[in-house]
Amino acid sequence: MKKMNLKYQPSQKVLKHLFVGIFFMIIPFLAQAQDKRTISGVVTDEKKDPLPGVTVTIKGTKDAVLTDFNGQYIIKAESRDQLVFTYVGFESFTTAIGDKKNVNVTLKSSTSNLDEIVVIGYGSVKRKDLTGSVSSVNMSDLNKTPVRSFDEALAGRVAGVQVTSSDGRPGSGINIVIRGNNSVTQANSPLYVIDGFLIEDSNNNVINPSDIESIDILKDASATAIYGARGANGVVVIQTKRGKEGKPVFTFSSTIGVQEMSKKMDVMSTYEFVKYQLEYNPAATSTPVKSPTEIYLTGPGKTLEDYRNVGSTDWQDLVTRAALYQNNNLSITGGTKKLKYAFSGSHTDQDGILLNSNYLRYQGRVNLDYKITDKLKIGINSNYSRLKQTGLDPTMSTSGGSGTSNLMVSVWGSRPYTPNVENPEDEFFDPNVNSATDYRVNPVMNLKNTYNVATTSNIGVNGYLEYQFTKDLKLRSTLGFIENDFERDEFYNSKTAYGRPGNPNGVNGKITNNNYNNWLNENTLTWDKKIGKSRFTALGGFTAQKQKSWSNGRSVIQLPNEDLMFDGFDQGVALRVDPTESEWTMASFLTRINYSYDSKYMLTASYRADGSSKFPSKNHWGYFPSAAASWKFSEEKFLKNKVLSEGKIRLSYGQTGNNRVGDFDYLTTYYNPANPIFGTYTFDKNYVVGVAATKLGNSDLKWETTEQIDAGIDLGFFKQRVVLSADVYRKTTKDLLLKTQLPLSSGFTTAIKNIGSVENKGLELSLTTKNIINKDFSWTTSANIAFNKNKLLSLAEGQDKLETIIPWDFNWSTVSTYVARVGEPLGQMYGFEYLGTYKYEDFNTSVNGSGTTVYSLKPEIATNGNTRANIQPGDAKFKDQNGDGVVNAKDYTTIGNGNPVHTSGFTNNFTYKNFDLNVFFQWSYGNDIMNANRIIFDGNQKAQEGLNQFTSYQNRWTPDNPNSDVFRTRGLVGSSVGYSSYYVEDGSYLRLKSVALGYNLSF
């Protein structure tokens, strides 16, 4: 078996890699020529007043100084160097040194970043000319956060963008939602446009964040409609760095750090655990495993008090470690008037905090631009990444769907102490657990012996040709492809949860391959003409794209020789793995017209027609128009003043689509079970192999369509020292692609149909302030906040709700977790409203013949799903919603809402001389969380003996604690009760997400 580096001295590894990183960073300075000389000068503004605090940098290096109070500076540089002068509120200026010893510079005022170029669909515009809602990510702030993938750092940086992680492992996927969920059952992730290549389900791990020049997020329909059928969920436009004219610039960066678990779950100590187990099963003896009395009292000859000071095994500490993170980036950029180049490479190695987990990435990029003639230009963007993710998915459960097979159930639930066992971490099975119903194993051994490795090879190449027919007319044609090969190798030996003795599959393994290739051709013609104060920009184009995917694999169980691992597959029992192959194609026509008068009045209109093979021929084509207008009122003479530096009103409307369905969902799917009973039928007294329809098609399927209206205002004050942007919007998605119920007579339970609609409406605010700007100290602040409310407007005729099941355990596989009701938000939690516990006053009492007090629930008190006679003081109590005296499924109600009231981010940047400090807070407010961990660990509703609990359950109801609203031991058992508000928690949080302190050195 492949050996994993599970335990190590993190300090030694950190020092090792730190010295390597420092060595590589010092190399460029050691190699510098020693002919530097002193350059001095004065920096002034257009009025010839000196400018203090101007940053003077040698281009391509971190060598920098600041001008003093008189605008003077002194710096050492070589003749071939270039000086870059930057100052807040002024345009940057670059000049060559040559033979000069004195370089005086006058900087031109720039009231804002209004001339900043923003990348939009099939083009770019100056920010001041935008008519739609487009947000740009501050790459300087983002790059101060050491992250593996850019999407990890997006949360809280852009208003209206929500970011969540799937399972927290290094390399795991990140989900991004822009302006709320449009679709109920289909994907809500945005379209990604990376250097012009459109990707619906992007693996953002293949992109090195250090290669990114800009990230622009298109949010309203005016900005996204140019992407038609794929723009409903928003569009993330990414441009990578390109070469610039000048000498080669070498850049190297190295990041090394250690990650640790910041907080452990508090679980019961040995004493509290033994006390709870004796309450759970007070029997003197039991089978097939020993009772707690036998294990802890009669067996070792002890009392409960003897365990009060006994230590506990910290399983959380045993399965985690201090994990090393390192990232190295090297880039070379430069060019001539004809050829510009950018080469880069990176290496990322991130250990997970769980044993035997790791993420490794090798990545390289080449971007070239070549000007063949004054009219003809060609270029290429290319990227290659090889990714390797190792480790067990902590969210995975198996063994027939039992939640006890989940890794964290073994970590949190394992006994803190077992008498007469010196080293419980060396025991694979807990001998006092019934392995037929409880699949917990030693989590340390499980992690160490699991082999789960996912490898991805991804290459993307996108070339372009531009021909300038005239100064106003340009043709751009692109052709690109992506080839992605994914392989997951899994092997579970007898010391793993999924290959343990007693598992029907025994020792087993699996190899899975999922591959795809995607090509895209786009051809656009752009006419850009200025006539007087009017400017016309017209775009027209045709695009074609095709993706082909295929999968295959091999799965083997009952392997007799686990030491051979994959080499022993021929000795086991092969399971059926069906290879698959699928493809989709799309053709599109698009056009957009922009009109601007004096950069004061602006109009935009776009139209796109998309034809997709994912829909039947009669619905192949969808049509998506949009229009927008803006008025820059700050340019009106009657409004010009020294306070208001920018003022613009925007209004837009448009339609976009969502084609995130299966490639052939409109067709009926047939399947051959290859089973002698179910896969054949008799004909002429012989068995004949047949096929069966497994999914009913729908020849009327069409696009989900989202209509959106957006109104916004952009304000700037005091020469853009204060910048405010606000947007209000309303999105309505109709023709939702949903599974609708079918009559049983059809032979099917559900089919996909276009039914229902969803509404999202919200408010987004962004604020940037330059609080203090002087010679030695500066302080700037950026903040954003977004409010979004969604509502299900309609479902199928006669249907008022849609329930969703999360099958985390086979006992809960038919219990609804979430509900979407017409007229209410999506993402609502569903279950009983928890009222606390039954108290003594809820019962009538009597004394039986043996002198024992008998408690009988009063007739006017509702039951809790259990039979009335069996309900006892301390049992869980739920609200009887319909007042019939019996709590059952009819009393299910909304118990929580997963949608936040608002999300926000808050960034402060400070500089003091050569020091810089970045502090970033991010928060979410008003969202609830269904903490299903508590179903197992805060009362043991799953009813597993020998299962440790969270310390919160120590406050449970007992005769000595009769006022507790935490139900008693065995006071809530079984999935028939389902979910309740007892497990719903406030998910609001404020997180200090990153702090970056730096010092700029001059050599």
pLDDT digits (tens, 9 = 90+) for 799-818: 888 888 888 888 888 899 99
**Rounded mean pLDDT, 927-934:** 95
Distance CA 51, CA 54 (A): 6
Lowest-pLDDT choice from 393-402, 663-672, 889-898: 393-402
**Rounded mean pLDDT, 485-493:** 97
pLDDT of 25:
47
983-993 as b/e, with b when 16 or more CB fall inside 10 Å?
Answer: bbeebeeeeeb
pLDDT of 680:
64
Spacing of C-alpha 308 from chain mean position: 44
**In this structure, is the dihedral angle defined by the CA atoms of residues 393, 395, 399 and 405, taken in order, positive or negative?**
positive
Are 117 and 124 a contacting pair, CB within 8 Å?
yes
**In this structure, is the dihedral angle defined by the CA atoms of residues 69, 72, 76 and 81, taken in order, positive or negative?**
positive
Per residue in 848-877, pLDDT (tens digit) is 988 889 999 999 999 998 999 999 999 999
Q: What is the mean pLDDT of the chain?
A: 89
pLDDT of 775:
73
pLDDT band at 1 (very low <50, low <70, confident <90, very high): very low
pLDDT of 301:
93
Distance CA 846, CA 585 (A): 76
684: left (phi over 0), alpha (psi -120 to 50) or beta: left
Distance CA 6, CA 451 (A): 13
> What six digits make up the tokens of 276?
């709870």
542: left (phi over 0), alpha (psi -120 to 50) or beta: beta
Secondary structure of 467-480 in HEC code, one letter for each residue: EECCCCEEEEEEEE
Distance CA 801, CA 817 (A): 13
Strand partners, 208: none
pLDDT of 24:
47
Amino acid, single-letter form, for residue 404: T
pLDDT of 676:
53
Amino acid, single-letter form, for residue 257: G
**Rounded mean pLDDT, 21-47:** 64
pLDDT of 774:
81
Per residue in 442-456, pLDDT (tens digit) is 999 999 999 999 999
Per residue in 679-737, pLDDT (tens digit) is 566 677 777 777 778 888 888 898 889 999 999 999 999 888 999 999 999 999 999 88
Per residue in 894-915, pLDDT (tens digit) is 999 999 999 999 999 999 988 8
**Rounded mean pLDDT, 746-768:** 90
According to CATH, the topology of domain 37-106 is Immunoglobulin-like (2.60.40)
pLDDT of 678:
56
DSSP classification of residue 26: H
pLDDT of 88:
67
Q: Is the pLDDT of residue 34 over 50?
A: no
pLDDT band at 31 (very low <50, low <70, confident <90, very high): very low
**Rounded mean pLDDT, 309-317:** 94
Per residue in 65-89, pLDDT (tens digit) is 888 878 899 999 988 888 999 886 6
pTM (2 decimals)?
0.86
The tally of CA atoms less than 13 A away on the side-chain side of residue 313 is: 24
What is the CB neighbour count within 10 angstroms for residue 915? 13
Are 66 and 1003 a contacting pair, CB within 8 Å?
no
Nearest to 381 by CA among 363, 371, 367, 370: 367
Count of residues in the chain: 1003
Distance CA 802, CA 270 (A): 45
Q: Is the pLDDT of residue 33 over 50?
A: no
> What six digits make up the tokens of 31?
């190699």
| Whole-Å CA distances, 288 to 146, 435, 944, 945 | 52, 10, 14, 12
Per residue in 3-29, pLDDT (tens digit) is 444 444 444 554 455 455 544 444 444
pLDDT of 23:
47
Integer Rg of the chain from CA: 33
Angle at 841 between CA 835 and CA 843, to 5 degrees: 95
Distance CA 886, CA 865 (A): 7
> What six digits make up the tokens of 481?
């492809």
Per residue in 100-150, pLDDT (tens digit) is 889 999 888 664 455 667 778 888 887 777 788 888 888 888 888 888 888
Q: Is the pLDDT of residue 400 over 60?
A: no
Phi, psi of 685 (to 5 degrees): 65, 20
Residues of the chain with CATH 2.60.40.1120: 37-106
Are 812 and 976 a contacting pair, CB within 8 Å?
no
Residue with tokens 């300038």: 468
**Rounded mean pLDDT, 544-558:** 96
Per residue in 53-66, pLDDT (tens digit) is 788 998 878 788 88
pLDDT of 957:
97
pLDDT band at 989 (very low <50, low <70, confident <90, very high): very high
Burial class (CB in 10 A: 0-12, 13-18, 19+), 564: middle
